[in-house]
Amino acid sequence: MDAFGTALVSFTDPYLIGIVLIGTLGGVLVGAMPGLSSTMATALLLPFTLTMDPIPAIALLSALYCAGTFGGSITAILVNAPGAPPAAATAFDGYPLAQQGFAGRALGLAAISSVIGGLFSVLVLIVAAPLLSRVAYNFGPPEYFALAVFGLSMLATISGESAVKNLIGGAFGVLLATVGMDFTTGVDRFTFGLWELSEGIHFIPVMIGLFAGAEFLKQAGKLDQKRFRVAVDAVRLPSRADIKRCLGTIARSCGIGSFIGLLPAEGGTVAAMIGYNEAKRWAKDKSQFGKGDIRGIAGPEAANNAATGAAMVPTLALGIPGSATTAIILGALVVHGLRPGPHLFTEQPTLLYAIFLAMLLANIAFAFFGFFGAKLFARITLIPVEYLWPAVFMLACIGSYALDQAVLDVWIMVGAGLLGFVLQRYGFSAAPIIMGLILGELVEGSLKQSLIIFDHNWLMFFERPIVVTLFVLTALSISLPAIGAARARRRARMQEA
């Protein structure tokens, strides 16, 4: 409780409160910009937090993460252009409702659902993270190796439709993590004579390139497209009848989002889609879904915001990112000299409570921004893309260079952007590569430590119950998508017969 009291006292500092409010407002603004996302924003902002103390830096990124998830619903409802991937399902009914002249009703309900889902997720984070950390506190290198492999296996379902492509992307990320000097043998690997690569490829320029750089190239091909804009006459709270009608959907989606968020590498997009599908499946009257049913807004918004705090649980307790954005927050912890995992709860409890309070304050703050700022946020869509995206690219270059003041990092960012653009064309996602790059070092390091402990007898891995359990879960994680696809093909053949 001393740590909680210290964190609470720190939030009496106007500077820290201002940092959280700025992060919240920035998250809503970024989330409302079509093509941008909280993942991209945190990647761009991370280098600029290096001069800050750890608590304000992580609080800023956490607030941006929470608010960015909600911000995507604004343009999803107003212009049918989801500002962030988790808001894609919100557009199914939000945009038709706005076309009917009820944009304020839709935005208000999205804000209420998001706040409830976000607050529920913070509660899950506060309760579940310490419990999970106690279980993992006695983990040794073999358990961490098995855990990292399990985290990589979750890449099969992180994004896209092809589990194989996701695993290939993750393997490529692990390969990138091997670049640089092997501190066990002192041998340079894949440096090609460039001494700058001896310390390895940092994930920040790669991340900025894969997300911001690739999206810059993608948006460059859409300069001739025009968007239809919906006028917002007033922003008001939904009626009591609307809220009462959606309470069951919101409660169900909070549970769905929290469960999905706890799974490493799942994230809010999957939670939102499942939340929408379940809202429709449980509805007695399904005829209005896709035409402006308010439950089609409440379901995905509560689910994707409930996944935010839950996704922080494996990030903080195990050091395994729960989503692409939490992977960046994980990197921020490392950059600031902190060690994510169970030891964080004993070494830096004040920081953890500060993160909890920052996310709590952010969820309350974006409720007011959502209610009173929708008209202003809608005007973001008026910014011409020929001005917006060059500015984003400039920020990407500055952010990449600011890390180590190395021009090579800028070129790495540009190369990652080109690679990400090409990979998107062939159905590959950037998130698995980032996850593989971050977890690759943990996989390699823990494997070497384990083999030293076992005197290079790898069969001793199977003498540890936790390791065996995690290996079984890894096998199931890899095989279940293939089994599901095989069953779907078999059902299709039976229907054709």
Residue 431 has pLDDT above 70, yes or no: no
With pLDDT > 90 as the criterion, what percentage of the chain qualifies? 0
Residue 98 has pLDDT above 50, yes or no: yes
**333's tokens:** 């912890």
| Confidence (pLDDT) at 233 | 44
Residue 429 has pLDDT above 60, yes or no: yes
Residue 18 has pLDDT above 60, yes or no: yes
| Confidence (pLDDT) at 235 | 47
| Confidence (pLDDT) at 382 | 56
| Confidence (pLDDT) at 403 | 64
Neighbour-count burial of 261, counting CB atoms closer than 10 A to its CB (0-12 exposed, 13-18 middle, 19+ buried): buried
- The values of phi and psi at residue 286, to 5°, are -95, 0
Indicate the pLDDT class of residue 137, thresholds 50, 70 and 90.
low
Indicate the pLDDT class of residue 33, thresholds 50, 70 and 90.
low
Query: Mean pLDDT throughout 382-406?
Result: 73
Angle between helices 324-335 and 430-453 (to 10 degrees): 50
Query: Mean pLDDT throughout 169-192?
Result: 81
Q: Which of 217-226, 331-340, 412-421 has the highest mean pLDDT?
A: 412-421
| Confidence (pLDDT) at 308 | 81
Q: What is the spatial distance between Cα 76 and Cα 34, in angstroms, rounded to a whole number? A: 8
Indicate the pLDDT class of residue 309, thresholds 50, 70 and 90.
confident
Residue 123 has pLDDT above 80, yes or no: yes
Q: What is the spatial distance between Cα 209 and Cα 229, in angstroms, rounded to a whole number? A: 30
Angle between helices 465-496 and 141-153 (to 10 degrees): 10
Average pLDDT, whole number, for the chain? 77
What are the tens digits of pLDDT across the range 154-172?
Answer: 666 555 557 778 778 888 8
Query: Mean pLDDT throughout 297-303?
Result: 88
| Confidence (pLDDT) at 157 | 59
Residue 15 has pLDDT above 80, yes or no: yes
Indicate the pLDDT class of residue 84, thresholds 50, 70 and 90.
low
Indicate the pLDDT class of residue 232, thresholds 50, 70 and 90.
very low
| Confidence (pLDDT) at 373 | 66
More confident of the two residues 384 and 20? 20
DSSP symbols for 372-410:
HSHHHHHGGGGS-HHHHHHHHHHHHHHHHHHHHT-HHHH
Q: Are 352 and 344 in contact (CB under 8 A)?
A: yes
| Confidence (pLDDT) at 133 | 62
What are the tens digits of pLDDT across the range 432-467?
Answer: 787 788 778 778 888 888 888 888 888 888 888 888
Angle 93-97-103 (CA atoms, 0-180°, nearest 5)?
A: 120
What are the tens digits of pLDDT across the range 342-382?
Answer: 777 777 778 878 888 888 888 888 777 776 665 565 455 55
Whose CA is closest to 275, among 287, 259, 264?
Answer: 259
Indicate the pLDDT class of residue 80, thresholds 50, 70 and 90.
low
